[in-house]
Amino acid sequence: MSYRLPFVPLNTEVFPESYAAARARWLALLSGLPDAGHRAFPCAGAGPEGEPLFTDSVWIGPPQADRVIVLLGGTHGIEGYAGSAIQIDHLQMLAAGDIALPARTALLAVHALTPWGYAWRRRCDADGIDLNRNFVDFSEPLPVNDGYRELREALFLDDPEQRRKWLADFERRHGRIALEKAVSAGQYHDPKGPFYGGGRLSHGRQVIERLFDIHALPERDLSVIDLHTGLGAYGYGEIICDHEPGSAGTAEAVRLYGDSVTLPLLGTSSSVPKSGLLDYAWHKIMNAQSCYVTLEFGSYSTDRLFEVLLRDHQLWGEPAPIDVRGRHSAAMLRHFCPADRAWREMVLFRARQVIAQALAGWQADE
């Protein structure tokens, strides 16, 4: 399938310095977009400078659009740095007329789904909840992660070398995939630990469920692209599809994006199957002409990802000096949004490519 990339120079200055700066720039762009319908969803708490926190959404295009392309940013707070850059890049091109939406199509951009984590350079919210493990039925027994229970003591060891030996022993006994599931598939009993799915609906989940109703999203064809960073090959944007193999959602993802689509359930992805994903809420409302994909931009190794996240939870799980947390927040940013200009150019280019593929797939239907 052919598609057209916008011939606009890549400008890495769209990557923000902070949550507050990103939000201000994102909001300023809306004035240049006719009929942009903005909504702000306040979040409890405040940022490091006392700034208020919001998740923002904007609807661009006809209110009665049959089809909606959805860009989600900041599902994991600190990953919003790249999510903001991608959204700002596309809003700028729309405002300048460099790109246009197909007929009967709207764009819904959702900025900073986890604004507290974005502002404080953490993945989770103020209660330690990982939004991307929060989409479970809290009226039913919650998923149990026996591997996490076995490794919990090791994850919080002060000696990183001793921790690595413990994790390596687990991997030798159970395999690499089992190790990654134990650490990252999701757990629901340890608020201080990583990948905690919570015990209630988080702010981001409540926003998503409100947007379903506000925009009657179950009645439309949807192409959802959830923007993430930190896992996979350096600078590459992997299209991860958590629809069931052989499902209509997987078929639609392959139709739009081709053979670059990977499926955790088939073992073809850098990601392993997980509990409580945001994807699953969208799957429930989607028709056969819709799909949800995660566009995951890799940075450094999975082992390094685990180390930086575990240190983050150690520092926030117990009282820690502000300067120590500050130094670690810089390490978090280096992992999830490297300052390398080449990495940032790759992110912008690949995001343009994937969004153009989604739009071209709908244009072909006209």
pLDDT in tens, 240-295: 999 999 999 999 999 999 999 999 999 999 999 999 999 999 999 999 999 999 99
Alpha-carbon separation of residue 242 from 52, 135, 184, 291, 322 (angstroms): 34, 14, 15, 10, 38
Could you tell me the two tokens for 9?
Answer: 């120079």
Handedness of CA 73, 269, 202, 300 (dihedral sign): negative
CA distance 225 to 296: 10
Confidence of residue 204 (pLDDT cuts 50, 70, 90): very high
Which whole number is the average pLDDT over 160-174?
Answer: 92
- 21: CB partners within 8 A, 6+ apart: none
Which pLDDT score is estimated for 332? 96
pLDDT digits (tens, 9 = 90+) for 39-77: 999 999 999 999 999 999 999 999 999 999 999 999 999
Percent of the chain whose predicted confidence (pLDDT) is above 90: 85
Confidence of residue 322 (pLDDT cuts 50, 70, 90): confident
Asked whether the beta carbons of 53 and 119 are under 8 A apart, the reply is yes
Which whole number is the average pLDDT over 112-122?
Answer: 97
Q: Is 142 exposed, middle or buried (0-12, 13-18, 19+ CB in 10 A)?
A: middle
Which pLDDT score is estimated for 365? 60
Helix (H, G, I), strand (E, B) or coil at 86: helix
CA distance 293 to 291: 7
pLDDT digits (tens, 9 = 90+) for 184-193: 999 999 999 9
Kind and range of the H or E run holding 117 = helix 115-120
* 3-state helix, strand and coil shares in percent for the chain, rounded to the nearest 5: 45, 15, 35
Confidence of residue 3 (pLDDT cuts 50, 70, 90): low
The DSSP secondary-structure symbol of 136 reads S
pTM reported for the whole predicted model: 0.95
Confidence of residue 366 (pLDDT cuts 50, 70, 90): low
Residues in the chain: 366
Select the more confidently predicted residue: 325 or 116. Answer: 116
Q: In the predicted model, is pLDDT for residue 158 greater than 90?
A: no
Confidence of residue 363 (pLDDT cuts 50, 70, 90): confident
pLDDT digits (tens, 9 = 90+) for 216-239: 999 999 999 999 999 999 999 999
Phi and psi at 294, nearest 5°, equal -100, 125
Select the more confidently predicted residue: 170 or 326. Answer: 170
Among candidate residues 60, 51, 59, the one with its CA nearest the CA of residue 23: 51
Which pLDDT score is estimated for 35? 80
Which pLDDT score is estimated for 318? 77
Domains defined along the chain, listed by start: 12-129+200-304+332-363 (3.40.630.10)
Which whole number is the average pLDDT over 149-167?
Answer: 91
Which is it for strands 291-298 and 237-240: parallel, antiparallel or unpaired? antiparallel
Which whole number is the average pLDDT over 346-359?
Answer: 96
Which whole number is the average pLDDT over 106-122?
Answer: 97
CA distance 18 to 74: 12
Match 């460099």 to its residue by tokens: 98
Confidence of residue 1 (pLDDT cuts 50, 70, 90): very low
Query: For the packed helices 19-30 and 80-96, what is the interaxial angle rounded to 10 degrees?
Result: 20
Query: For the packed helices 80-96 and 322-336, what is the interaxial angle rounded to 10 degrees?
Result: 50
Average pLDDT of the chain, as a whole number: 94
Asked whether the beta carbons of 71 and 90 are under 8 A apart, the reply is yes
Among candidate residues 364, 346, 359, the one with its CA nearest the CA of residue 15: 346
Could you tell me the two tokens for 163?
Answer: 């921790």
CA distance 71 to 225: 5
Which whole number is the average pLDDT over 350-364?
Answer: 90
